[in-house]
């Protein structure tokens, strides 16, 4: 047998890909990435667009719902705390506060605060989340700030809450209820 017969057949020379081919590949990859990003952005933005397009009377409720979805864990902690205050379960409300809250407000003062809120504005009958912000602190707890427009048994007002993570749970760092009813109560108290 000759060496020529046992040698593999000559392969045709490899065809090199031109610049146009690689530009098409890069363009296709870029188009796929941009399309994916556009879909993700649209999915996130479309809810906000719906809120902006809604009639003014519906806009506040839609905004509250959207923010509530984003802050589900935090709003659950707020709801439990406010329910405990409304139902005069001050020990449960106290247990929902953070160590930093308890360092600045003793249990007796807290009981006075909850009684004052119940006496002046009554229970919270409805609330709409108006703003939500979370910030992570390096070497410290994550803090969330929530602001609500609220309707109480005796009138309207606002509720502002700051929560912080403590042992993996959201705890109340600060709690403020504001209403014109407090100013009226102060005037009546000063007039006595």
Q: Is residue 18 part of a domain?
A: no
User: For residue 192, what pLDDT is reported?
Assistant: 52
Among 93, 85, 75, 83, which Cα is nearest to 119's? 85
User: For residue 123, what pLDDT is reported?
Assistant: 94
User: For residue 2, what pLDDT is reported?
Assistant: 58
* DSSP calls for 163-177: EEEETTEEEEEEEEE
Q: Is residue 186 part of a domain?
A: yes
Q: Is residue 46 part of a domain?
A: no
User: For residue 49, what pLDDT is reported?
Assistant: 67
Q: Is residue 6 part of a domain?
A: no
Q: Is residue 43 part of a domain?
A: no
Look up residue 189 and give its two tokens.
């108290």
As for how many domains the chain has, the answer is 1
Look up residue 115 and give its two tokens.
């009684």
The range of the structural domain enclosing residue 82 comes to 72-191
pTM of the model: 0.69
Q: Is residue 93 part of a domain?
A: yes
Instruction: Return averaged pLDDT per consecutive 10 residues of the chain, 192 residues in all.
Output: 65 74 82 76 65 73 73 89 96 96 95 94 92 87 92 94 93 94 78 54
Angle of helix 107-120 versus helix 72-86 axis, rounded to 10: 80
CATH of the domain at 123: 3.10.450.50
Q: Is residue 106 part of a domain?
A: yes
Tell how far CA 94 is from the center of its chain: 23
User: For residue 66, what pLDDT is reported?
Assistant: 74
Q: Return d(Cα 52, Cα 82) in angstroms, integer.
A: 30
User: For residue 95, what pLDDT is reported?
Assistant: 96
Q: Is residue 79 part of a domain?
A: yes
User: For residue 42, what pLDDT is reported?
Assistant: 64
User: For residue 39, what pLDDT is reported?
Assistant: 73
Tell how far CA 36 is from the center of its chain: 25
Give ∠ CA 136-41-162 in degrees, rounded to 5. 25
User: For residue 1, what pLDDT is reported?
Assistant: 54
């Amino acid at each position: 047998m000759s060496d020529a017969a046992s040698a593999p057949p000559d392969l045709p020379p490899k065809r090199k890909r031109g610049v146009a081919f690689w530009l098409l590949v890069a363009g296709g990859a870029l188009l796929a990435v941009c399309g994916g990003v556009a879909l993700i952005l649209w999915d996130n933005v479309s809810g906000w667009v719906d809120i902006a397009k809604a009639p003014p009377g519906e806009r506040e409720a839609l905004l509250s719902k959207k923010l509530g979805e984003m802050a589900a864990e935090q709003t659950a902690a707020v709801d439990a705390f406010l329910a405990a205050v409304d139902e005069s379960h001050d020990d449960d409300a106290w247990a929902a506060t953070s160590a930093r809250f308890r360092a600045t407000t003793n249990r007796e003062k807290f009981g006075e605060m909850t009684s004052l809120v119940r006496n002046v504005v009554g229970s919270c009958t409805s609330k709409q989340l108006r703003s939500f912000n979370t910030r992570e602190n390096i070497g410290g707890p994550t803090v969330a700030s929530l602001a609500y427009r609220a309707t109480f048994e005796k009138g309207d007002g606002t509720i502002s809450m700051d929560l912080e993570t403590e042992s993996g749970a959201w705890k109340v760092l600060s709690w403020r209820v504001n209403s014109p009813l407090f100013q009226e109560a102060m005037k009546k108290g000063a007039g006595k």
